[in-house]
Amino acid sequence: MARVETCGSRLLRRLRFPIDQSIMIKAILIFNNHGKPRLSKFYEHYNEDTEQQIIRETFHLVSKRDENVCNFLEGGMLIGGSENRLIYRHYATLYFVFCVDSSESELGILDLIQVFVETLDKCFENVCELDLIFHVDKVHNILAEMVMGGMVLETNMNEIIIQVDAQNKMEKSETFIFQSPRQDR
């Protein structure tokens, strides 16, 4: 009997192995001062409803904080509670929030947010909220050059911009038969 149990628990342990191993960045959220999501990228799977709740909860946590207070707080209930930290920055009308686990350096992530925003600024030329609203796909593409599957891929802004530009050039070179890209604001 005892042996059966041991066997079972070993199996369980193996099954659990991947689940235990968490990725470092759980989610990247951008929302505006009213909590409207402008970009959400979850590196762990949640269903759509939970994702929306997480965004709302995070907004609630972040928005009630003054300026001039520190940029870290503990995660909400939905996204792991005190295991995780929310590291955020507030730029004009937008909040950039990274939800990370304890293995990431807080200052490092803060720096990463800065790199992200500066990159957006370079790519969109004076980025504003409207750019993010209408070109969420481009923002995703830029983000994909920085963070991959919850891990930091590149922190050098120049390198990121080179890759993004190269891909955009490639996109343009592919001729469009029916559709011409519009520049909407």
Partner 1 sequence: MALKIVKGSIDRMFDKNLQDLVRGIRNHKEDEAKYISTCIDEIKQELKQDNIAVKSNAVCKLTYLQMLGYDVSWAAFNIVEVMSSSKFTYKRIGYLAASQCFHESTDVIMLTTNQIRKDLSSPNQYDTGVALTGLSCFVTPDLARDLANDIMTLMSHTKPYIRKKAVLIMYKVFLKYPESLRPAFPRMKEKLEDPDPGVQSAAVNVICELARRNPKNYLSLAPLFFKLMTSSTNNWVLIKIIKLFGALTPLEPRLGKKLIEPLTNLIHSRILLCLSSVAVLISLSSGMPNHSASIQVMKYLGLLAMSKILKTHPKSVQSHKDLILQCLDDKDESIRLRALDLLYGMVSKKNLMEIVKKLMLHVDKAEGTTYRDELLTKIIDICSQSNYQYITNFEWYISILVELTRLEGTRHGHLIASQMLDVAIRVKAIRAFAVAQMATLLDNAHLLTGNTQHNGICEVLYAAAWICGEFSEHLEDPMATLEAMLRPKVATLPGHIQAVYVQNAAKLFSTVLRGQEGAPADSKVAQETSQLLIDRLPVFVQSANLEVQERASCILQLVKYIQKLQQKDVEVAEEVTALFAGELNPVAPKAQKKVPVPEGLDLDAWINEPPSGSESEDEGRKTKTKGKAVFAKEESRHTKPRYTEVDEKELAKRREVRKAEQANNPFYIKASPSSQKVYQEAVGVEHIPVVQIDLSVPLKVPGMPMSDQYVKQEEERREKNKADRKKKDKKKRREKGRQRRGDSGPESEEDITPAHMVDIVTEEMPETALYTIPCLFPSQKSSKHKKKKQKKEEKDKKKKKHQHHHHHSDGAGDESVQNGTVEEEEPLPVSKQSPFILSTQSNPCPLDIQVCDIQGNLHDGSQVVVSVIFENKCDSFIKSMEFNVMDSLNSKLQRPEGAGPHDSLTVPFQLPPGISNEARFIFSMQSIVMPQKLKGTLTFIVKVSWSCSPQSTHIPHYPNQIEVYLSRVPNTTGVDLTIKCLLTGSNQQYLLLRHPCNICPLCMCPCPSQADQTVSIDAKCDEPGLLGNVLDEIKLTFSQC
CB of 135 to partner 1, least distance (A): 8
Among 34, 92, 126, 179, binds partner 1 (CB under 8 A): 179
CB of 121 to partner 1, least distance (A): 20
Among 122, 141, 157, 161, binds partner 1 (CB under 8 A): 141
Q: How far apart are CA 91 and CA 30, in angstroms?
A: 11
DSSP track, 37-86: EEEEEESS---HHHHHHHHHHHHHHHHTSPTTS-SEEE--TTTTGGGSEE
Asked if residue 92 binds partner 1 (CB under 8 A), the reply is: no
Asked if residue 4 binds partner 1 (CB under 8 A), the reply is: yes
CB of 48 to partner 1, least distance (A): 5
Asked if residue 126 binds partner 1 (CB under 8 A), the reply is: no
Q: CB atoms < 10 A from the CB of 183, how many?
A: 6
Query: How long is the chain?
Result: 185
Q: How far apart are CA 126 and CA 27, in angstroms?
A: 25
Q: Are 120 and 142 in contact (CB under 8 A)?
A: yes
Asked if residue 125 binds partner 1 (CB under 8 A), the reply is: no
Q: How far apart are CA 17 and CA 14, in angstroms?
A: 5
CB of 145 to partner 1, least distance (A): 8
Asked if residue 174 binds partner 1 (CB under 8 A), the reply is: yes
Q: How far apart are CA 107 and CA 110, in angstroms?
A: 5
CB of 92 to partner 1, least distance (A): 15
Residues that bind partner 1 (CB under 8 A): 1-4, 17-18, 21, 23-24, 37, 39-41, 43, 45, 47-49, 51-52, 65-74, 103, 105-108, 110-111, 133-137, 140-141, 144, 148-156, 159, 163, 166-167, 170-171, 174, 176-179, 182, 184
